[in-house]
Chain A
Amino acid sequence: MNVSTHRAPEPRSGSQILIKALECNGVKQIFGYPGGTIMPVYDALVGSGLKHYLCRHEQGAALAADAYGRVTRKAGVCMATSGPGATNLVTGIANAFMDSVPMVIITGQVPSALQGTDAFQEVDIFGITLPIVKHSYIVREVDDIPRIVNEAFELAESGRPGPVLIDLPKDISAGMGEVADVTPTQRPAGRMPDPGALQAASEVLSNARRPLIIAGGGIGISDTVEAFREFAARTNIPVTSTLKGLGVMLPDDPRYVGMLGMHGNGAANHAVQNCDVLMVVGARFDDRATGHLAQFAPSAQIIHLDIDPAEISKLRKADIAIVSELAPALAGIKPELKAKATWCAQCANWKKEFAWRYDAPGEGIYAPKLLRDLSRARPQGMTITCDVGQHQMWVAQHCRFDNPLDHLSSGGLGTMGYGLPAAIGAKVAKPEATVVCVSGDGSIMMNVQELATLKRYGIDVKILLLDNSALGLVRQWQEIFFEGNYSEVHLDDNPDFAGVARAFGIQARSIKEPEEVSDAIDWLLDSEGAAMLHVSIDSMENVWPLVPPGQPNHKMMKSNPHKSGPNKGR
């Protein structure tokens, strides 16, 4: 890479060189947890320009760095010691890998001479993480540190972003070097589209009678939201989105038909199954989005835009592939604008027909309505992080997002425990934002220790805990697909969550009646500092619609065919 070097300074430790290299790459905040082999780095951290956030479990640190990376589109940085410290990072690294999040991970390692001897807290984290990193390094020379750190940031943030791991043996972090700091210079421009492919895409779209676009997570990642909205407006083509593409289109845009997939909106799923040309922008045909792949968009020609050549024809053959930065590709596709009034009207009718309803029967608090009301409560919007399960799908369905970076959800890996540390990372990255963590009673316990991090640093995160006393999504599947044979899903012995929050010094309130909701949302958002609103909901509530596994997207279940009762049909 192109670099500019400074004069060689006095001898410094590897750790001092590392801290300086992080600063040279614009790092201000890092998340981590100290321990034996990373101690030289923590020693050098004192008095540096870096603000370190001590999370209370390394997984929390990795997931906070993930969210920081998503929100800033710069690599989030996390750090841990060797052995268990490093292995505890693994879920967070995989999470970033699956969702293409820029992250730099620094792990301590036993001294080089002890590597391979089963030394205390030795683990081959380089080997363990090979499948889940974009790249990784073991540092063998102190003087390699500036080059490796610069490369790591460039790799993490460029092209399709991802996590890059730097394993740092203790003899390197404690050893001395005389290398100069290296300031990273401007990175080379991204890949440009092939004019022939742009022309071909324009022609196919010109001749389409029922064109549709899937807006994927790549649009937010590459900061092309405005360019995409301009394209949609210019071509007047209906748009659906993936889970990670939520917020690319404004929900009330008439062209937008909602999220597709397993828990997507009926309008989106019918549109995708009936289109004749499908332009997929920054998305990767995930099985939760496509349903049964062979029957996905069965009569559509595929135009696939992505920065990653390895995504082309991985699952669905692309008739036209455009491997490039998204903005120049979108600008270069210029279809003739032919009237597609019948198709657009059909999509609009589906949107009206499948609009979410909030008049569900039942006496308790209806979570979808609560989430809709929550996201309407701040006109300037809010950043919502969530965990994984029913509440995650309800957030995707019922919260309003005007920007994809406002919706932080573990899409690819589906990491229960993401929500709270992600909210910490997001709030640290964007202190002016209202940050709400929507969690469930199963998920919150996966990283509940991070309540201590909220308290320690006074991080103003609002937690909305939807408590159905169950692992709800698993319970739902057992109800529908396993004949109600419930296995290890009941959590009716949950702790007093409000009491738990208060024990950590976080104010908390519990509600269970629908008439309490409005006031409680105001209380949560208006509270000074971190707060938790614990909401008891019906344990038998389900997420609808649901495309059963192995079925095409238009075969959506809207209720449990084997069940009757007040919740049927919600």
Chain B
Amino acid sequence: MKHTLRIQLSSVEGAVIRALGLIERRGFSLNKCSVGESDGTGRDMEVSVTSSRPGDLLKRQLERLHDVYHVELVPIAIVNPNKPGVRRI
């Protein structure tokens, strides 16, 4: 299953690699990653991952990191071919 997470984290040395390392180590395959400077002093990161494990578990594991300020699990939009409209899960 695919998950997308938006992560706000500190810009200190090692913060990005610590978060990325955790993602792979905890059983989530990294499909896409972008890192940029945020408005404040930190960085914004968005990752797209695939795993059989639940995305909210990864969210809580990332939130444990001291360098991570905030994690948002982006709801996945699924288009149901039988019914019009979008279901959010």
Contact = CB atoms under 8 A, between A and B. Distances in A.
A279 B62 CA distance: 26
B14 A126 contact: yes
Interface string B43-79: 0000000000010010011011111000000000000
Given A310-B57, A310-B60, A312-B60, A155 B66 contact: yes
A127 B14 CA distance: 8
A138 B13 contact: yes
B18 interface: yes
Interface stretch (A129-137, A375-383, A391-399, A437-445): A129-137
Given A135-B66, A140-B13, A155-B66, A310 B21 contact: no
A130 B57 contact: no
Contacts of A312: 60
B57 A131 contact: no
A402 interface: no
B61 A310 contact: yes
A127 B60 contact: no
Contacts of B61: 310
A308 B64 CA distance: 8
Given A126-B14, A138-B14, A155-B66, A131 B60 contact: no
B63 A309 contact: yes
B60 A134 contact: no
A313 interface: yes
A562 interface: no
Interface string A287-315: 00000000000000000000011101110
Interface string B15-36: 0011001100100000000000
Nearest to B61: A310
Query: What DSSP secondary structure best describes chain A's contact surface?
Result: mixed
Contact residue range for chain A?
10 to 19
A287 to B, nearest CB: 15
Given A308-B64, A309-B60, A309-B63, A127 B13 contact: no
B14 A136 contact: yes
Contacts of A309: 60, 63-64
B1 to A, nearest CB: 15
Given A310-B57, A310-B60, A310-B61, A130 B14 contact: yes
B21 A130 contact: yes
Given A126-B14, A127-B17, A134 B57 contact: no
A127 B18 CA distance: 9
Contacts of A313: 54, 57
Contacts of A138: 13-14
B50 to A, nearest CB: 19
Report the 8 A-B pairs with minimum CB-CB distance, sorted nearest first: A310-B60, A135-B66, A310-B61, A309-B60, A310-B64, A130-B21, A130-B18, A131-B25
Given A135-B66, A155-B66, 4 more contacts: A126-B14, A130-B17, A310-B57, A314-B57
